[in-house]
A and B are shown apart, each in its own frame.
Chain A
Amino acid sequence: MIRPLALMLALAMAPLPALAHKVVGGAYADGALIEGEIGFSNGDMAADALVEVFDPAGTRLGGTRTDGDGIFTYRPTAAVAHVFRADLGAGHVAEFTMSAEEVAAILDSPAARAAAETGQAAAPTEADGAAGMAGNPSTFPLGPGPAATAAAAPGLSDADKAAIAKIVRDEMRPLRREIAAYREQNDLQSILGGIGYIAGLFGFGFYIAARRRLKA
């Protein structure tokens, strides 16, 4: 009697701020860089958080910080799986992995090679960043856009390509975030499914207990 009541109460309150408050994060290729973001599933981003990068064996590869929007960039140097880890305090830890194949694809991409070349030829600061990895600043100079852009618009200068790549990235960011939020959503089906599992499990337990009692 009371338990259905409690359940009904809980269900009635469900549409209120029904936000799972867990840590979400992800990393994806971004030209020659790995770009990632870290935040809470209620939409708050983790601003200025230290992100440490490890290889699968636990050796520290480097570190970077998120900017005000919870976004960080990291330039990979070795084609091993990269494990990104950020401790946001109070038991909130974000940890996600980018597989070795993905990292190798980034290192192998035309953008990365072009970045290294143009960096050496034109911009000494970028060459420093590519070679020295000094601190891996979170606002890394943007590499030129992917090869597809270059092929489609051969008349564009490197600066134009970089600007276009940046615009596309900025336009994509809200979409990515939306998808991440959507993935974290608790839909009614999973909730009902969970309740179904519980009913089944305890029903099974009930059956076992009843059989044991009948035998005795």
Chain B
Amino acid sequence: MHIVDGALAAPVVIGGAVLAAGGVARGLRDLTLEKTPAAGILSASFFVASLIHVPIGPSSVHLILNGLAGLVLGWAAFPALFVGLLLQAVFFGFGGLTVLGVNTLNIALPAVIVHYLCRRGLARGTPRIAALWAGMGGALAIALTALCVGLALALSGEAFLPAARLVFLAHIPVMAVEGLLTAAAVYLAAQVKPDLFTTVQGPQR
């Protein structure tokens, strides 16, 4: 999931960095007092979850939890995931500092997309319906991330279809696991702390 230093063409790296900076700035404006602790904990979850790598074929997969981060945080997922990625790059050399922008974009943009697609379903349904939406959101976030990674590789000259297909196929098991995990987490949250998806969001935009 993490693209390493030197695998991408310079325009892709720069473009990714600019877009990611914009996303982080937008996210920081959204990071209210209520959301900050949640953002910290989701950032830490992402940081740890990404350390569990399971090799599949020539690539490797790991849980990302960006769907869950997006559902809870919205735009604030950008800074949360950025911090996680930055520390992974510094501590473990996953990805790299130059491709940090592209990696942030690949992981945080799907989170934001999923947030906008699923927030209505989360806010009004019963816990069961919320869990259903969350499951779809969690799986969709991974699918979109795989697509973004394929796209980034394609823009750097690798043939899009083989690269994207490989990344996508490798992530089908992750999509299933993430969907279930996100659904379980949201089901629990909807039962014990139903206001997580309404008050923490602040005023609806």
Show the binding face of A for B, using Cβ within 8 Å. 1-7, 9-11, 13-14, 16-23, 40, 42, 44, 85, 87-93, 95, 186, 190-191, 193-195, 197-199, 201-203, 205-206, 209-210, 213
Instruction: Give Cα distance in the complex from A126 to B155, angstroms.
Output: 44
- From the candidates A3, A21, A213, name the one contacting B38 in the complex (CB within 8 A): A3
* B153 on the A face (CB < 8 A): yes
Least CB distance, A35 to chain B, in whole angstroms: 22
Q: Is the CB of A1 within 8 A of B193?
A: yes
Would you call B14 an interface residue if the criterion is a C-beta within 8 Å of the partner chain's C-beta atoms? no
A10 near B94 with CB under 8 A, answer: no
Interface residues of B (CB under 8 A from A): 3-8, 31-33, 36-45, 47-49, 51-55, 58-60, 63, 65, 68, 83-84, 87-88, 91-94, 149, 153, 158, 163, 166-167, 181, 185-186, 188-189, 192-193, 196
* Residue contact B39 to A202, C-beta cutoff 8 Å: yes
Decide if A93 touches B49 in the complex (CB within 8 Å): no
B42 in contact with A3 (CB, 8 Å): yes
Kindly state the separation between the CA atoms of A197 and B85 in the bound complex, as whole angstroms: 12
Across the interface, do B40 and A201 meet the contact criterion of CB distance under 8 Å? Answer: yes
Q: Is the CB of A13 within 8 A of B36?
A: no
What would 14 more interface pairs be, CB under 8 Å, given A2-B185, A195-B48?
A4-B41, A6-B65, A14-B51, A17-B54, A20-B51, A20-B92, A23-B4, A91-B59, A95-B5, A195-B47, A198-B44, A202-B83, A206-B33, A206-B40
Please name all residues of chain B whose beta carbon is closer than 8 Å to the beta carbon of A191 when the two chains form the complex.
47-48, 51, 91
Q: How far apart are the CA atoms of A191 and B91 in the complex, in Å? A: 8
B41 lies within 8 A of A3 (CB):
yes
B interface majority secondary structure: helix
* B55→A21 contact, CB < 8 A: yes
Within the complex, the shortest CB–CB distance from A178 to chain B, in Å, comes to: 19
CA distance A191 to B94 in the complex (A): 13
User: How many Cβ-Cβ contacts under 8 Å join chain A to chain B?
Assistant: 147
Q: For A95, list chain B residues within 8 Å (CB).
A: 5-6
- Asked whether A202 and B43 contact (CB < 8 A) given A1-B192, A11-B48, A22-B94, the answer is yes
Inter-chain contacts of B54 with A (CB < 8 A): 16-17, 19
Which listed residue (A11, A92, A202) contacts B37, Cβ 8 A? A202
Distance of A11 from chain B, by nearest CB (Å): 6
Taking a contact as CB atoms under 8 Å apart, the answer to whether B55 and A19 are in contact is yes
Give B25 Cβ to nearest chain A Cβ, in Å.
14
CB contacts (< 8 Å) of A7 on chain B: these are 41, 44-45, 48
Partner of B31, one of A197, A198, A209: A209
CA separation between A85 and B92, bound complex, in Å?
21
A to B CB contacts below 8 Å, 7 in the list: A20-B60, A89-B58, A198-B44, A202-B43, A203-B40, A205-B40, A209-B32
From B33, B92, B188, A210 is in contact (CB under 8 Å) with B33
Given A7-B48, A205-B31, also A186-B92 (CB < 8 A) = yes
